[in-house]
């Protein structure tokens, strides 16, 4: 049941090159047991067509779980590194997610999440990332 509009603004820097993109989609936004949930389906534009994303936002964490054609489970916690499962079309791997900054401003009408983080594989920096997610009811 789609009840909101979602805008994802993504910036990724790897090997000195920066790529920026925006994705507009419809999805579901709800409050359940003290946490906000944002659900949407991926598309061909993201490279994960056939996958579903659920973001869970509480006081401490932002967790992104992707299911369907590939599985990922990423955990974002301010100034903390988590080892996470990341699935790609080429296979699955464990990555380090080091969150540098989280700003969560959600209420029953929607709001905004802003994340800055790095991804590393075997301790080697893979990319620096910045995502802003806007939800509008």
The domain in which residue 68 lies consists of 4-136
Confidence at 47, pLDDT banded by 50, 70, 90? low
Query: Which CATH number belongs to the domain containing residue 97 in this structure?
Result: 2.40.128.20
pLDDT at residue 72, rounded to an integer: 92
pLDDT value of residue 122: 84
Least confident of 1-15, 42-56, 98-112: 42-56
Phi/psi at 43 (5° precision): -130, 175
Report d(CA 38, CA 36) in Å as an integer: 7
Residue 61: the pLDDT is: 95
Q: What are phi and psi of 45, to 5 degrees?
A: -60, -30
What is the total count of domains within the chain? 1
pLDDT in tens, 69-115: 878 999 999 999 999 998 877 888 899 999 999 999 999 999 999 99
pTM summary value:
0.92
In sequence order, the 6+-apart residues with CB closer than 8 A to the CB of 135 are 4, 5, 6, 27, 29, 38, 106, 110, 111, 112
């Amino acid at each position: 049941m789609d009840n909101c509009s979602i805008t994802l603004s993504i910036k990724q820097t790897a090997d000195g090159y920066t790529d920026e993109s925006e994705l507009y989609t419809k999805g579901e936004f709800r409050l359940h047991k003290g946490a906000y949930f944002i659900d949407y389906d991926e598309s061909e534009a993201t490279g994960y067509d056939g996958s579903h994303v659920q973001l869970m936002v509480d006081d401490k964490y932002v967790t992104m779980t992707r299911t369907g054609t590939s599985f990922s489970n990423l955990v974002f916690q301010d100034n903390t590194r988590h080892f996470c499962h990341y699935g790609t079309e080429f296979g699955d791997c464990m990555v380090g997610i080091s969150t540098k900054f989280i700003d969560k401003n959600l209420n029953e009408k929607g709001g905004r999440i802003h994340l800055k983080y790095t991804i590393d594989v075997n301790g080697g920096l893979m990319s620096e990332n910045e995502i802003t997610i806007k939800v509008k009811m």
